[in-house]
């Protein structure tokens, strides 16, 4: 069985407060994009879980989120057969695109199907939060409002058709560092999440892009000016707006015009500003 684990971008990202248990409460507008890792899974006779990945620097043991997800379901349902998994990554790692979370979501969906466990999507989402706050969203996909620590989800109508150019500079920013550097009392601009929800309901792409904002961006961009340079590069070539996704450092640009996006993609590759460049489009739940 072969599954697609799709990446996400945050059209809006607000951090409300730090809870006493150390988790941060967020309000985010999530959007799945057509950039994906593939997860191949099959039964094997010997018990236990085996995992291979195409990237040597991604762990292939119980530290991998795919492994964690599979183990949660297999333990709960006392699955005695073994599971063999092969992960082929294309989503940049530690990039703010939920690659690991999406792989885990694919493992939940795949193991449920392969061993005929009979869990509904909602039941999978309940278990998924044990692996990570973004994993329930990655099971659901599409356009959504995420609240709580990211696990309280409200599906939204699909955002209007558009093209997404992704550019990741050759730097790494861990989510942990991004939170450590975020001074909640000093946030100057708050994203208008409710306004964006209204713009999505109105299918107004320009208004959606005007409201794109990410509270992590100013701090991370100050440290890594290349993020701002990639944004400017995309906007000068026709992006309605470009912004950093999640805790960074990946930048995405929203284009109405497909040709402009492809031209910007080629130019960005040549510029050397970004290490990974990927031309994509949004994914809707109804596809």
**Least Å from the CB of residue 229 to ligand ATP:** 21
The dihedral of CA 104, 152, 284, 268: what is its sign? Answer: negative
Roughly what angle, to the nearest 10 degrees, separates helices 65-76 and 121-128?
120
The residue from 134, 168, 211, 241 that is catalytic is 134
Instruction: Say whether 98 counts as a known binding-site residue.
Output: yes
Summarize the chain as % helix, strand, coil (round to 5): 35, 30, 35
For residue 69 the two structure tokens come to 């997800």
Pairing of strands 82-88, 2-18: unpaired
Instruction: Say whether 60 counts as a known binding-site residue.
Output: no
Q: Does 60 bind ligand ATP (CB under 6 A)?
A: no
- State yes or no: cis peptide before 147, omega within 30 of 0: no
Nearer to ligand ATP, 95 or 124 (CB): 95
**Within a 10 A sphere around the Cβ of 125, how many other Cβ atoms?**
20
Number of residues that bind ligand ATP (CB under 6 A): 21
**Least Å from the CB of residue 176 to ligand ATP:** 9
Residues 102-121 that bind ligand ATP (CB under 6 A): 103
Count how many residues are written for the chain: 287
Instruction: Say whether 274 counts as a known binding-site residue.
Output: no
Q: With contact defined as beta carbons under 8 Å apart, do 105 and 68 qualify? A: no
- Using the contact rule CB under 6 A, the part of the chain among 23-31, 56-64, 109-117, 218-226 near ligand ATP is 56-64
Q: Does 99 bind ligand ATP (CB under 6 A)?
A: yes
Does the annotation count 134 as an active-site position? yes
Residues 126-145 that bind ligand ATP (CB under 6 A): 134
Indicate which single residue of 49, 73, 94, 240 sits in contact with ligand ATP (rule: CB under 6 A): 94
- Using the contact rule CB under 6 A, the part of the chain among 93-101, 110-118, 236-244, 270-278 near ligand ATP is 93-101
For residue 13 the two structure tokens come to 């990202």
Whole-angstrom Cα distance, residue 130 to residue 237? 41
**Least Å from the CB of residue 247 to ligand ATP:** 6
Nearer to ligand ATP, 158 or 248 (CB): 248
Indicate which single residue of 4, 24, 34, 59 sits in contact with ligand ATP (rule: CB under 6 A): 59
- Using the contact rule CB under 6 A, the part of the chain among 91-99, 120-128, 194-202, 206-214 near ligand ATP is 91-99
Instruction: Say whether 246 counts as a known binding-site residue.
Output: no
Closest alpha carbon to 105 in 123, 130, 128: 128
Q: With contact defined as beta carbons under 8 Å apart, do 45 and 200 qualify? A: no
Pairing of strands 143-147, 24-44: antiparallel
Torsion, CA 61, CA 37, CA 9, CA 219, rounded to 10? 50
Residues 199-258 that bind ligand ATP (CB under 6 A): 246-247
Nearer to ligand ATP, 209 or 247 (CB): 247
**Within a 10 A sphere around the Cβ of 260, how many other Cβ atoms?**
17
Does the annotation count 8 as an active-site position? yes
Active site residues: 8, 134
Query: Which stretches of the chain bind ligand ATP, using CB under 6 A?
Result: 58-59, 63-66, 89, 93-101, 103, 134, 175, 246-247
Residues making up the annotated binding site for ATP are 92-102
């Amino acid at each position: 069985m072969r599954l697609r684990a799709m990446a996400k971008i945050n059209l809006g990202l607000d951090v409300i407060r730090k809870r006493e248990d150390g988790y941060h409460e967020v309000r985010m507008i999530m959007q799945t994009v057509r950039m994906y890792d593939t997860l191949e899974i099959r039964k094997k006779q010997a018990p236990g879980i085996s995992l291979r990945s195409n990237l040597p620097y991604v762990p292939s043991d119980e530290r991998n989120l795919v492994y964690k997800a599979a183990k949660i379901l297999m333990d709960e349902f006392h699955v005695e057969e073994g599971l063999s998994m092969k992960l082929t990554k294309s989503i940049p790692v530690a990039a703010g695109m939920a690659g690991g979370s999406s792989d885990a979501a694919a493992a939940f969906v795949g193991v449920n199907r392969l061993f005929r466990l009979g869990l509904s999507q909602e039941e999978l989402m309940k278990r998924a939060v044990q692996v990570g706050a973004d994993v329930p969203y990655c099971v659901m996909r599409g356009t959504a409002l995420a609240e709580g620590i990211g696990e309280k989800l409200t599906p939204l109508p699909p955002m209007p058709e558009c093209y997404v150019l992704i550019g990741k500079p050759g730097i790494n920013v861990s989510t942990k560092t991004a939170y450590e550097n975020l001074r909640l009392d000093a946030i100057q601009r708050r994203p208008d999440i409710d306004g964006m929800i209204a713009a999505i309901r109105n299918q107004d792409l320009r208004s959606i892009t005007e409201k794109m904002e990410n509270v992590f961006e100013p701090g991370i961009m100050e440290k890594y000016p290349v993020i701002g340079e990639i944004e400017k590069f995309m906007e000068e070539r026709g992006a309605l707006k470009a912004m950093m996704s999640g805790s960074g450092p990946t930048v995405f640009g929203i284009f109405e015009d497909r040709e402009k996006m492809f031209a910007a993609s080629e130019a960005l590759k040549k510029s050397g500003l970004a290490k990974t460049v990927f031309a994509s489009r949004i994914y809707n739940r109804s596809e």
